[in-house]
Structure formats: C-alpha cells, structure tokens
A and B are shown apart, each in its own frame.
Chain A
Amino acid sequence: MNIDVQHLAKLARLRIEDEKLSKFEKDMESIVSMVEQLPDVTGDASGLDPEHPMKLREDVPAEDKLSRAELLANAPKMQAGCVVVPKTVE
C-alpha cells in the first residue's frame, strides 16, 4: 500500500526532512504490509465489560497539592505564572 508519510507526519505534528523521506516511505510501507495481514474477522470490538466495571472516584478535593512552581518547573518558557507559547488565536 502507498503510505502518505507527509500526511501522517502533518497529523502527528512531525516534520520529515526531505533526505529521510524515501527511507521513511519504504519503512512505513513494509511495516504496514506486515501488520495488515489480519484474518477477516467481524464483531463488536468496543470491549465493554460491565461484569468488571471501573470504580469511580469520590468527588472530594485533594488537600495535599503541589505548588505552581513545582508543577511548572519543567516548562521551557514561563511568564506571569503561565506557560508561554507562540502567539496563536483560534
């Protein structure tokens, strides 16, 4: 199958350099042609399992909280207590 690597890269917010494109295309094609070999099966794949339902969390606020400084200590760029990103409006 022909895999549109550039389209996938765009969806995944990746950028594939031109010189690597043909290698990625070749790899992706061989990977996809490997994994697409699946039997013809049909059925419900939703995986619902009401016999083993999820235990839900009680609606009680946590008391011990990390500070803003601790939580955002890894952020590459901060200003006024906020994480900074390039200007963007949607």
Chain B
Amino acid sequence: MELYEMSANELSLMLREKKCSSEEITRSVLDRIKSTDDKVGAYLTVCEENALSKAREVDAKFAKGEQLSPLAGIPIGIKDNISTKGVLTTCASKMLYNYVPPFDAFVIGRINAADMVITGKLNMDEFAMGSSTENSHFKKTHNPHDLDRVPGGSSGGSAAAVAAGSAVVTLGSDTGGSIRMPASYCGTVGLKPTYGAVSRYGLVAFASSLDQIGPLARNVTDAAMLFGTICGHDSMDATSADREYPDFAGKLNSDVKGLRIGVPKEYFGEGVDDSVKQAVMNTVRELEKKGAEIVDISLPSTKYALNAYYIISSAEASSNLARFDGVKYGYRTENYDSLIDMYEKTRSEGFGDEVKRRIMLGTFVLSSGFFDAYYKKAKLVAMKIVEEFNEAFGRCDIIATPATPGTAFRLGENMGDPTKMYAADICTVTVNIAGLPAVSVPCGKVNGLPAGLQFIGKKFDEQTLLNAAFAVEKLYGEARPVNV
C-alpha cells in the first residue's frame, strides 16, 4: 500500500516506529495530487514548498526525540474559506481571487501547533453556498467515485480529496450540511461539531449562527483525532464554548449495547430515495442486532426546517458578505465613476449568481415590512425545532437519518433550478438550526455510489456519535482512496 492510502492513525504509528518520514508521506500525497487532481479538481492552491519544509521540520523534531502530537507530520488539506496566513484564501470566489490573510484562523493555529503538514487549500462552492461545488468560480470538483458526478457541497474539495487520497484528512465547514453531504456523496466520514465546540475565528463567515468547522476523513478514528485537535475554547470567538473535551479517539468504542437509536419518521418520507432509506435502515437494524435499541420518534417541525434555514442563513449571509465591496481587499472593478458605481460593479462582477440570489433573499427577509413574516418567524420555527430535539433526546441517545436524500447527482443536473438544489440539504439543516453535532458515515453503496448515514447527537456529546459511527464502520470497513 502506498503512504497516501494510509489513515492518519496508521501513519502516526509508522512515524513513531520510524517506518517512514513525514517528508515521505507528504511527497506521496503531493504526488497523488499531481496524478489525480486534474481529474478530481479538489485543490485550489497546492502548498508544495511549505508542506515539504514543514514535513522536514517535523522529521527533525522526531529525530531529536521530541514528544509530538498524534497528528504530527500528517498531511492535511484545508477548505478555502479558512484563513491561512500568507496563503491565498479565496472562498472559491472571484471576489477574493487574490486575498492573502495576514493572520491564521484559530483552527490553523491548532493544526500548526499539532505539527500537521498543510498540503493546500480546497475547492468549495463560492462562499460555501451550494450543494455540489459547482458554484466555485475557479473550477468544478468531480466525485472520485464517478467523475461525472458532483462531490456534494459545499466542502466538495475537502470530501473529494480525502476520497481520492490527495489528502489524508481535511477540514471543511458546515452551515447546513456542507461537511456531511459531500462526505456522504464521496463515501467518507464527516463530522459537524456542536455549535461552539470549534472556534469560528478565521472562518470566512457564511451564516454566523450556523457555521462550524469540522473534520473529514476516511475513517472515524482519524476524524476523532482531528476533531480533538481543533476543538476547545477560544476567547476570540464569543460563541465558543468554555469547557473540557475528552480524548475522543482514545475513547472510541464500537459497542452499541443499550444505545437507544431514535429513528424519526420525518426523515424517511417523501423526497428521500427509497434505496437510501433502505441502506440506512439496514444499517440501523444491524446495530440493533448488536444490542442497540431502536426508538421511533417524531420531529414534526422538520418540514419547515429547510425554509427556516434558507431564511436565517441568507439573512446572515447578506450582512456577512456586505464587507466585500472592493475597498479593503479582494477584487475591485476596473472602471468606475463614483462610489456607488464601484460598489455595484465590484459586487456584481465579483459574486456568482448563487451568492447573489442568497444575498437578495437575505436582504429581502430583513427588509422593512418583511422582517416579522420571514426572519422572526424562521427564528421561532428554529426554537420549535430545538424543543422537539430536546424532547426526542429524552427518549433516545442518538438519532439516525439518511445524510442526504439521494446519492451523488450528475454535474449540471440541478444547476438550472435553485430550489431543487436546496432540497439536497433537507436531511442536514435541522442539525445546524439546533446547534447539534452530527456525523455522516458511509453505510454501503446504492447503485454503485456511496450512501451516508447521519447520526445526530446531544450537544457536546460527540463521543457517543463517533462511537456509533465507529460501530457502523465496523460493519462496512474503513474507506481507502478510490481509483481515479
């Protein structure tokens, strides 16, 4: 097996046993990027020099016998909406085509402190708005399982890189499913942490009350290791939770005896492919055989979740993206004759159509006369959704649902109709609205394409989620890079 095919957990062990060096691992991954990325298109920026020099630095530390973090020397790819000091951070937008942040995101500080090796920045839907990564200004990313299909979005580059082996692990961000959905489409593990578990400082905001950074990996252990590295309190983020976290990877346990798994009927209704429902339910029944208890639950407000989500996320986005005005950074139009002219041309030329639609929707729901009927109502629906989850968690420990209503669709298939594209988020948005943690884990294949099972957990109970995902992984085996 090549080094790029190994998991972070395996590589970590090999580094300590001096079976390989970080430089060798890094070169293997960089070579894999070179051999696959013209087909997959996961990367926007490859940091070859930086990566190799960091790898050599880590190797020197190992040689000196320093005690390093479990992920030291392991290559990682970063979604391009996470600020990296001195490295382009474009959010896959023309608006930020030349933007180089002068500071690192909190999570990048953690990644650097853990001596991980950053191989580059990954493609995404522009400003994380989309479900297919087709909204990138720069290029389309292809699903390594079927290059004619989308990898999902918005963290499509993060999922595709992991699936193709052009990254060992990656960071994505999830506002309405942007980690879990591409993880599901690409047959990888993706964790959306509890809101507040990972600092958002340095994550270019899409919807501040919903955004969370999380790990994508080919197995649960790697995801747990990476999550343990990036979680924790940050005084720079007022929404960051001040609490202690367990050693998630160390405590992984696939024993599901007595685990009460809630199955909400609303997630198995219309709009979800029967074959996906079946794959998920088959998996849940396997867990039942291993001692888990299945509990039928109901989350009746789920049917409003998508609408509330699009109102709240677009409202926040319309405000968060107002700062891209051509004044301080990024793109500025060539010719203009006044301030307003400069603003309008810059923003019209700099943003893609999907971003414009969301900005206009957000502007609409906040505008005078419509606020109460849209934004306020959506907030009330969100509160109702939280209540229903609380109630459900009185009767179960975790909730199992499909991660996506179908498997990866074809490139271009949903581009003409925004609402059809939005419907792809139907299984994932409630989790962001309620600020809960959720994981997407592969549960076999449907028509030759990966299907994902989503576990939703109680706030800050990522351990239970990861344990359940670990149990599912035992059923189907760990993912390895697919042939491209």
Contact = CB atoms under 8 A, between A and B. Distances in A.
Contacts of A74: 98-100, 102, 328-330
Nearest to B103: A66
Nearest to B196: A52
Nearest to B301: A39
B327 A73 contact: no
Contacts of B343: 13
Given A28-B360, A70-B102, A76-B332, A86 B342 contact: yes
A22 to B, nearest CB: 13
A15 B345 contact: yes
A6 to B, nearest CB: 10
Nearest to A72: B328
A31 B325 CA distance: 25
B330 A85 contact: no
Nearest to A70: B102
A28 B422 contact: no
B164 to A, nearest CB: 32
The B contact surface, by secondary structure, is helix
Interface size class of A (residues with CB under 8 A): 35 or more
Contact of B325 (A13, A38, A42, A72): A13
Interface string B293-311: 0000000010010111011
A3 B351 contact: no
Contact of B339 (A34, A66, A85): A85
Interface in B29-83: none
Contact of A24 (B328, B331, B351, B357): B357
B356 A14 contact: yes
Nearest to A90: B339
Interface of B: 98-100, 102-103, 235, 238, 242, 301, 304, 306-308, 310-311, 318, 322, 325-332, 336-345, 347-348, 351, 353, 356-357, 359-361, 363-365, 367, 373-374, 376-381, 383-384, 417-419, 422
- By Cβ-Cβ distance, the 4 closest A-B pairs, closest first, are A74-B329, A76-B332, A45-B379, A15-B344
Interface of A: 3, 5, 8-9, 11-17, 20, 24, 27-28, 30-32, 34-39, 41-43, 45, 47, 54-55, 57, 66, 70-77, 83, 85-88
Given A11-B363, A37-B307, A43-B380, 17 more contacts: A9-B360, A12-B359, A13-B322, A13-B343, A15-B345, A24-B360, A28-B364, A30-B417, A35-B378, A41-B381, A47-B383, A85-B327, A85-B339, A86-B337, A86-B342, A87-B339, A88-B339
